[in-house]
Chains A and B, each alone.
Chain A
Amino acid sequence: MGATPSVLVIGGGSTGCGIARDLSMRGLSVTLVEQGNLTHGTTGRMHGLLHSGGRYAVADQASAEECIQETRVLEDIASHCVEETGGLFVKRPEDSEEYFEQKLRGCEECGIPTEVLSGREARKREPYLAADVDKAIAVPDGAVDPFRLCVANAASAQNHGARIETHAEVTDLLVEAGEVVGAEVTHESGPGTRTHGKAGTTERIEADHVINATGAWAGRIGDMAGLDVNVRPSKGVMTVMNVRQVDTVINRCIPKGNADIVVPHETTCILGTTDEEVEDPEDYPEEEWEVDLMIDELSKLLPVLQEARTIRSYWGVRPLYEPPGEGTADSEDITRDFFLLDHADRDGLPGLTTIVGGKFTTYRMMAEDISDHVCDRLGVSASCRTAEVPLPGSRDERVLDDAMDEFGLTSPVARRSKQRLGDRASEVLDTDGPNPVICSCEGVTRAEVQDAIDQSGTDLNAVRIRTRASMGNCQGGFCTHAMAQELHPEYEPGQAEAALDELYQERWKGQRHGLWGEQLSQAMLSYALHATTMNRDHATRSAAGSRTASDADAGETVDFEAFDGGAPGGD
């Protein structure tokens, strides 16, 4: 064993990335492996609410207190991931007055600042609120971009020497002499950033301690060492609106219920959610009634939603956990608290710790707890600094309005770039060549896409979560091919094409749940454009050779030489 203790973190969600950052800042040698790209599991499928704690202030005050505390921390260390929108708990005439009072008292007890607004005052803040909303409690809820936050944590960990491997699935835990000593990992395209078309490899990664931070997948990792980790995955739907109807988080002030929150998220609003236990975190039905429920129920708070355009819906699974023997029937009633399972104490298997339950807002605190625990196990004495040291992108609050002028971007594109990149804006946007807008829905330029490609290789979904390119109203119809084009010449056309297919499929996966009205028109236009200009429906065979879906699957590349160079001198 070397002088520096080593830790393997399994899972690249908020918790895993948070742990990787924390431990590497404490000087440990950290490797993080994630089966997809960062945020692939639950983190990338949340509603983006930064909890003030108001939602838990009645039923779970311990969680509420943690939330308000951690929200304050994130506003400091992750300012470029957080938008301080404020939130409202709104009461409709049929909602319980008693609960409203309980909510108010609960918030006070937990140290969550509140302000009671009349219906009229609430509508002054958010004019689309229903005319019959009685009153509201204002709380300091916020919006957070989980992708950006995770990526920033991973980047910070890397800056402190950590190794981050995405598309690296754990296929087995290594158990030697009654102790977990590492994991066997399959790299989809070898170690390092993902590269389409490159052969996979397997690797044995040994570590002094292994942390299972795989959330809803924690049971599967446990199984590999014969451990029973009873995660109860619970699915919830989120529906994404095309524009922001509100700039404040809107919660309905009721004890519990489906479809009770609207979160302004970047350019959109996200409606949420449901809570239904599922067997398998990767295979569960995505049903139309769930989407309908979001719109129907939340229209009672914001009637405009009934007419507004949705661009997609997605589902996430909560990694709910309760200790054996609790037997809570309704998944909605299972605690949102997190549990640290020390398998040495619990199962007599040292070398492995599992973290389950918990919620996004308190990821940092969870990471701190588990890092303390692991350091204790490894005999390391180093204290946590993640609450004080800002994340990359949030190190300098005074971002550079003047500097942004140099980059020749239109105002909204410059503004959005700055909001996304934080203090990295200058570094990323300062390029020599032309810097056209690649994704006009979200205002993402070539420089930002290139920066993301540098970080994540040919994985355009990883580029998407870093930049928001392809996340706007056309859902990639007008930009996915331009994003793929950015992979060339560093990568081959065939790789770019495979990456494009993958991104486009991912966009389609969510968009298919919004296909009525304007989004249906959008999808038809995108289809027609891709089919007629890029033959992406594989409808015609070119003279240069056959081009069918099955050929593409077989890896046959397009004969680009067969295309002419355009009419010479033509216009």
Chain B
Amino acid sequence: MSDADSPHDPGVPDDEIPDDEFEPVDVFPESELDLRSGADDCYKCSTCDTNCPVAEVDDEFPGPKFQGPEQWRLKRKDDREIDPSIMDCSNCMRCDNACPSDVPLSQMHNEARAEYVDEQMSKLSVEYWRNRVLANYRKGAWLGSKFPRLTNALANNGPLRKLGEKLFGLTAEREFPAFATQTFREWWAERGGAQVQSEEKRVAYFHGCYANYNTPEVAKAMVRTFEQFGYEIVVPEQGCSGTPMFANGMLDDARRDAATNISSFSELIDEGYDVICSCTSCSMALRQEYPELFTFEGTADVAAHTYEALEYLRIHEDLRGALAGAEVDGDGEDLAYHAPCHARNQGLARQAVELFRDLDGVAVEDVGDSCSGISGTYGWKAEKYEKSMAIGEEMFEEMDEAEGRTGMTECPTCAMQMEHGTGYDIRHPLEILEAALVES
């Protein structure tokens, strides 16, 4: 036992690296963060639990207070086990918004989930691969969009969907979103990129996966609207924002794509560009999750320069003035607006309602502050589908009671859920803005 005979020569330097270099706090191996000190902020008021949509419909779910500060505080360095209930968290992040004391709840959940997937989930299980595929939606979408018509036909073939549920745990209740016959990036290349040049007004567009492969009309609306206001737009190389990866505990995948995104966009920021997102979960990831989880050079810069598209225009342009004289063709369309949870966390829950209040031709009605329940990939999982729909019930009812028969939201998966629950068409605020301001 005694190593009394080992050489004790404290004067000998053991390595070449100077000690005063920055050393991040990595208590747990493999770059996992020690978030126990985050529990210092919690005084256990349970406001997070009362705002958790999963806890509301699932009595078995212990809630964000347990998942976050309590579970972390009970941890010792050698403790590797995370409670499996972490996989029932939908990552809506409403707990972050609810907490009166700045407990880093979603960060704690993200880290714990990643640890759970790394250490406890079998890499041979169907669940793991189902989640991996869902989390890496971009890869599948890339392939699917090569043959959009074929993919769309196959994806919504009834028997195939049933088989998908049985073998792969993807709910057969939902219809897959259609792939566009031309991706946004293809369109962008075809039109020859930016049509407006500017030294002062420059934005770099983070379109994310969905606007590229599935709803290029949203991305095009962004481009046309921003160009109308005189912005020079670049569409740099980019990966997934990471949102579905965080939600599935695939932090390594998220880290890989974040490295691409941060390197790509931080260079542009140095050239005077700001980062614009049309998806509120993408902007959330760049703004909040990146600095919480990653330490790449430029992470803080990207976080500080990222905006949601409408938010950016409201800050820098006289949008209200521009809209005062505008109108949307049609006979007074009524829109049932749902604010995505991730938009709410960024303080954007009311912007579309406020912005379009005085716009002729549309009437926007806020359907309340409930969660849509789909939370990205969550509602696509066969075992989560019922829960997802139970959470969405309040929103469906509110939409049903609203005047309009068209919905509006910034989030692509909230849009899926709204459509799935009500059958309404769902629009993006950028599309309304384009209709009002851009000459067609």
Contact = CB atoms under 8 A, between A and B. Distances in A.
Interface of A: 83, 100, 104, 108, 111, 113-116, 118-121, 123, 127-128, 131-132, 135, 242-245, 247, 264, 267, 304, 308-309, 410-413, 415-416, 440-443, 472-474, 477-478, 518, 521-522, 525
A375 to B, nearest CB: 32
A131 B73 contact: no
B101 interface: yes
B228 interface: no
A412 B19 contact: no
B62 interface: yes
12 contacts: A118-B19, A127-B27, A132-B19, A242-B73, A243-B72, A247-B76, A410-B62, A410-B71, A412-B71, A473-B39, A521-B43, A522-B44
A120 B74 CA distance: 27
A412 B84 CA distance: 11
Contacts of A264: 76
B3 A120 contact: no
A484 to B, nearest CB: 18
A518 B2 contact: no
In the A-B complex, the 4 residue pairs with the closest CB atoms: A309-B40, A247-B77, A412-B74, A411-B83
Interface in B1-25: 1-4, 6, 8-10, 13-15, 17, 19-20, 23-25
Interface string B79-104: 10111110000000000000001000
Nearest to B78: A247
Contacts of B84: 411
B44 A473 contact: yes
Contacts of A267: 73-74
Nearest to A529: B45
Given A127-B25, A474-B43, 8 more contacts: A127-B26, A242-B40, A243-B37, A243-B72, A247-B27, A411-B84, A415-B74, A473-B43
Contacts of B23: 123, 127, 131
B10 A100 contact: yes
A304 B36 CA distance: 12
B10 A116 contact: yes
Contacts of A132: 19-20
A415 B73 contact: no
A145 to B, nearest CB: 13
Contacts of A410: 62, 66, 71, 83, 85
A525 B27 contact: no
A442 B42 CA distance: 14
Given A411-B81, A412-B83, A521-B101, A113 B43 contact: no
A244 B36 contact: yes
Give the one of A120, A309, A411 with max B CB within 10 A. Answer: A411
B70 interface: yes
Contacts of A478: 44
B329 interface: no
A521 B42 CA distance: 10
B43 A518 contact: yes
Contacts of A243: 36-37, 39-40, 72-73
A441 B10 CA distance: 42
From B4, B24, B85, name the one whose CB has the most chain A CB atoms within 10 angstroms.
B4
Nearest to A474: B44
Contacts of A128: 25
A441 B85 CA distance: 18
B36 A411 contact: no
B41 interface: yes
Contacts of B27: 127, 247
B34 interface: yes
Nearest to B67: A410
A474 B71 CA distance: 15
A135 B40 contact: no
A127 B25 CA distance: 5
Contacts of B41: 309, 518
